[in-house]
Copies of this chain bind each other. A is one copy, B any other.
Amino acid sequence: MITTTLHPGRDGAGVVKRTVLPGGLRVVTETMPTVRSVAVGMWVGIGSRDEAPEHMGATHFLEHLLFKGTPTRDAMEISASVEGIGGEINAFTAKEYTCYYARVLDEDLPIAVDVLADVVTSSLVTEDDVESERGVILEEIAMHDDDPSDVVHEQFAAALYGDSPIGRPILGTVESINALGRDRIAEYYHRYYRPLRTVVSVAGNVRHEEVVELVMRAYERSGALTGPVDYAPPRTSGPGAPARSGVRVLDRPTEQANLVLGTTGMSRTDDRRFALGVLNAALGGGMSSRLFQEIREKRGLAYSAYSYTSAYADTGQFGIYVGCLPSKIDDVLKICRDEVARVVADGLTEDEIVRGKGQMRGGLVLGLEDTGSRMSRIGKNELVYEELLSVDEVLARIEAVTADEIAGVAADVFNRPLTLAVIGPYGDKDFSGAIA
């Protein structure tokens, strides 16, 4: 067991400590002495990106199954134990990791740790549960499919990465879910859900040593804490995902067209990610951004119009999303193309850079006031990065971005071939001109 202070904090607040336990289980905590709640996350470094094509959706299917029962708790007891004390418990599956989390009053921390450790280490994954949960997941897929703004993002990933693991839907498809058997999912669980790939993160009014104690007690019951004090390094690559350029149109009788226009962005370790962040803020990060001003404020062409970035171990996305009446899509696409070209040609103004930095800075600080967001920051960070940047260090990196760096990033990213995904009542309308 090795304990390190990752950040000394200030006046007892913001102290981040990490302990590595036998088997490689990591426990990271951050002290927030003035709050009454505590957030607990158990992060497993396995996501939909690790699935073979024929097991598409297995990671997410498993996430559901973990709430169905352990040797000591059935599904009702799992949820009731946390909800009965006013807490919440849930989970989500991403492309590169899966997270189980709870938020409770600080005096209830032992319950949250115990229940989450129980589901993560000791779920039964029975045949009956697989069958009943299959129905729930098919419902989730159908629900998703009824939301065009969800579907268009999935279509964009598919267009950008093709039929590679990172381009496939996290939920899987009706066919892949119907084909998944209990044994395959259970095997997946026992192979991947190991302490060496797990991070427990806790933020709130807690003592690190007490959290470590609680985690050890909960994990020891399952016999998981054996082996060297050694954990899996962050993922640095993934199964090949050659980015493509192309157009993907889904003909749907929706009231609005939904579109994502974009290209590859940057991996999460790319040093230029802070410059891309400022660029993204200025281009489509808020109501004062160029895209919002042009598309919505000046022209009234859309209600929702924004740009975003997402980052993985070895790649990333930059995308512009707009929802607009079908008849307006050509105007909207033209504005998007023009604004991107204008940034490449002229960079950002000094005002925009100042505002973009202010937006990132304030968003970071304002976004870290609650226990849930602090827990997520340290937990995800521990899983995917070699080191933890303090909030002050991140702020300094944002501040240090120069106009030249932004111009360089714009020239690099926006000169990559574009990809477009569209959903709307378009029949076989040809959008290939929009990315040419």
Binding site for B on A (CB under 8 A): 34-37, 67-68, 75-76, 79-80, 83-89, 103-105, 131-140, 142-143, 145-149, 253-256, 286-288, 292-293, 296-304, 323-325, 354-355, 358-366, 369-371
Contact = CB atoms under 8 A, between A and B. Distances in A.
Given A36-B369, A86-B359, A369-B370, 4 more contacts: A83-B287, A85-B358, A139-B324, A146-B149
Given A359-B83, A361-B86, A300 B134 contact: yes
Given A76-B297, A140-B303, A286 B354 contact: no
Given A254-B146, A365-B105, A139 B83 contact: no
A421 B376 CA distance: 38
30 contacts: A35-B369, A37-B365, A67-B287, A68-B297, A76-B293, A76-B297, A79-B287, A79-B292, A80-B355, A83-B355, A83-B358, A84-B359, A86-B360, A86-B364, A87-B362, A88-B286, A89-B287, A105-B366, A132-B297, A132-B299, A132-B300, A135-B299, A136-B296, A137-B303, A139-B301, A139-B302, A139-B325, A142-B325, A143-B256, A369-B371
A148 B145 CA distance: 11
Nearest to A287: B79
Given A256-B139, A256-B142, A365-B105, A75 B297 contact: yes
Nearest to A148: B146
B80 A288 contact: yes
Contacts of A369: 35-37, 370-371
B362 A288 contact: no
The CB with the most chain B CB atoms within 10 A, among A67, A304, A358, is that of: A358
Contacts of A75: 293, 297
A137 B300 CA distance: 9
Contacts of A143: 149, 255-256, 303-304, 323
Given A79-B287, A143-B323, A362 B138 contact: no
A57 to B, nearest CB: 14
A258 B188 CA distance: 34
A137 to B, nearest CB: 8
Contacts of A371: 369
A32 to B, nearest CB: 9
A149 B143 CA distance: 9
Nearest to A13: B34
Nearest to A80: B288
A309 B227 CA distance: 51
B323 A362 contact: no
A300 B136 contact: yes
A146 B256 contact: yes
Nearest to A33: B34
Nearest to A299: B132
A68 B89 CA distance: 41
Given A76-B293, A86-B365, A136 B359 contact: no
A139 B323 contact: yes
Nearest to A253: B253
Contacts of A303: 136-137, 139-140, 143
